[in-house]
Amino acid sequence: MHKLSIITIHYRCADVLQGLLDSAATLGPMKEAEWIVIDHSPEEPPLRERLTLPENFDSVRIIEYPQKKGFGEGCNIGAKNSDGQVLFFLNPDCRFLGGALLAYSDSLLANKKFSAVGPRLVNPQGLPEFSFSGFTGILSEARWRAERFLTSRLEVARNAINRRFTRPRAVDWTTGGALFVTREAFTRVGGFDEDFFLYMEDVDWC
């Protein structure tokens, strides 16, 4: 059994996915982690022939799933074919910037109060991505939009948001594009609702 299973969904973005795989070299040895890629592009040449897989992971596997199913179903397939104590759902357009990835797993497994955690995400300019929020409603949507607007125009707002995004905090939901979940919670709650083809399945699960 691995401590961590990374699960990534691929659909017609081999070059983008390669960038993510290449960035994994910044993590150093990941011998307690496996990486599972679910390939949703049956009309393209085999993905395993077009990728250079990272060597610092204990195991990297590509699972060809020919049906063009949604994000949630692909993640569920990845979870069923993994054995990690913690699942890390990760979009192919993300990049690692170094750090201790397994520290997230250790923290979740040690602290039974929490079942899921989202890492801090930044855009190419180094500004925090708005990757979490309160449950959907008029007030949470208004605040989310206002913060995005202000940080794009005012440095004082960017600094304030940067400070707020560097502290651990409880949130209603965090994006499924980079989401750590304990296997126990994923099993107990059930996987992503496959009736959501794309978007909002992460909010629904949280």
Residues 12 and 73 in one domain: yes
Q: Give the residue among 132, 139, 138 at the shortest CA–CA distance from 206.
A: 132
Position 56 scores a pLDDT of 94
Same domain, 200 and 133: no
* Residue 61, SS3 per DSSP: strand
> What's the pLDDT at 68?
64
Do 38 and 110 reside in the same domain of the chain? yes
Whether 68 and 143 map to the same domain: the answer is: no
> For every one of its 206 residues, what pLDDT tens digit does the chain have, with 9 covering 90 and above?
899 999 999 999 999 999 999 999 999 999 999 999 999 887 788 888 899 999 999 999 999 887 667 889 999 999 999 999 999 999 999 999 987 789 989 999 998 888 999 998 888 877 777 777 777 777 777 777 777 777 777 777 777 777 777 778 888 888 889 999 999 999 999 999 989 888 889 889 99
Range of the domain at 153: 121-169
Considering the domain architecture, whether residues 144 and 199 belong to the same structural domain is answered as: no
Number of domains in the chain: 2
Alpha carbons 24 and 53: distance in angstroms, whole number: 10
Q: Are residues 70 and 164 in the same domain?
A: no
**Tell me, what's the pLDDT at 89?**
97
DSSP 64-125: E--S---HHHHHHHHHHT---SEEEEE-TT----SS-THHHHHHHHH-TT-SEE----B-TT
Same domain, 133 and 82: no
45 and 136 in a single domain? The answer is no
Cα pseudo-dihedral 10, 40, 3, 135, rounded to 10: 80
Task: Tell whether 105 and 184 lie within a shared domain.
Answer: yes
Residues 24 and 109 in one domain: yes
Are residue 28 and residue 48 in the same domain, yes or no?
Answer: yes
Helix, strand counts (H, E) of the chain: 7, 8
What's the CATH number where 104 sits? 3.90.550.10
Residue 52 is predicted with a pLDDT of: 94
On whether both 108 and 138 belong to a single domain, the answer is: no
